[in-house]
Amino acid sequence: MKKIFAANWKLFKTPQETRDFFSTFKDLANKATGEIVFFPSAISLEAASSSLKGSNIKWGAQNCFAQASGAFTGENSAQVVKDLGGSYILVGHSERRKIFGETDALIAEKVAHIQSLGLIPMLCIGETLEEREGKHTFRILETQLLLGLANADKSKPVVIAYEPVWAIGTGKVASPEQVAETHADVYSILEKMGFAQSPILYGGSVKPDNAKGLAALPHVSGFLVGGASLEPKSFSEIASV
Ligand code: 13P
C-alpha cells in the first residue's frame, strides 16, 4: 500500500506563508515515496488550492461541520473544500476533542457527511497518558473507532490517524515497540469492523530522525505530522523515507 504523509499545520501560516512554503516544497516533493496531503488552517485553504493546482499533492481542511450549509456561524463547509479541489478532511483531532469538546457522536456525523460528498475523512484517535498508564489504551481506541465510524460507509475510503495524546507536540515520540503494538491492535479492531483496508497513520512528534524506523513497522501506513511539517525541508525528508 502506498504510504500517506500528511501535514497538520494547526493554526499556523498565513495565506502568503502558505504560498511561500509551496514554492519551495514543490521541488523537494519529487523525492516523496507516497501520497502527500496538507491540512492548512481554514483561511489559508484557498492559497493552498491555487498553489497546488496541477500538482499531485493533495490537501484538505482540519475540520468541517456535519452539514454543507446553514445557520452555523463560524463553521467550515466540506462542500466548499470540495469545490476548491480538496480531497481530505481531518476529523476528531485530540485538540478538537479536548479544547472544543467534540464528542464521538458529532465526529461520526462528520465522517458520514464527508464521505457522502466523496471526500476522504482522516479520523484521529488516541489515548491520554493517564489512559495508557491505566492500561486502557485498547478500550479507548476501540470505543473511538466503534463510535466514530458508526455511520461510515465501508465501501468508501476512510483513513485512521493514531495519535497518542501524550506524544503530540511534546517531543516524546512513542517507542517503536509501542507503535508496533498499538497499530496491530488498531488493525485488529478495524478488521473486525470491516475496515481492514483503511490505512493507519501514526502521529505524535514525528521528525526526520525517527520517521524511517517508524515507517518500517507493520501496519504503519504513513504519518500525520504537526511541528516538523511547518518547514519544507524537514517535511520533505519525512515524506521521502
Ligand atoms: P506534532 O508532530 O507536533 O507532535 O503534532 C502531531 C499532530 O497533532 C498532528 O495532527
Query: Among 123, 107, 101, which residue's Cα sits nearest to residue 66?
Result: 107
Distances (CA, A) of 100 to 69, 77, 84, 88, 97: 20, 17, 26, 21, 6
38-49: pLDDT as tens digits: 999 999 999 999
Q: Is the CB of 214 under 6 A from ligand 1?
A: no
CATH of the domain at 153: 3.20.20.70
Residue with the smallest CA separation from ligand 1 atom 5 is 226
Contacts of 27 (CB under 8 A, 6+ apart): none
| C-alpha 167 to ligand 1 mean position (Å) | 8
Atom of ligand 1 nearest to the CA of 205: 4
Give residue 9's pLDDT band: very low, low, confident or very high (50, 70, 90): very high
Check pLDDT > 90 for residue 94: yes
233: three-class secondary structure by DSSP: helix
Instruction: Say how many domains are in the chain.
Output: 1
Residue with the smallest CA separation from ligand 1 atom 1 is 226
Q: Is the CB of 168 under 6 A from ligand 1?
A: yes
Distance CA 196, CA 193 (A): 8
Give residue 1's pLDDT band: very low, low, confident or very high (50, 70, 90): confident
223: three-class secondary structure by DSSP: strand
- Taking residue 20's Cβ as centre, other Cβ atoms within 10 Å add up to 15
Domain that holds residue 51: 4-238
118-163: pLDDT as tens digits: 999 999 999 999 999 999 999 999 999 999 999 999 999 999 999 9
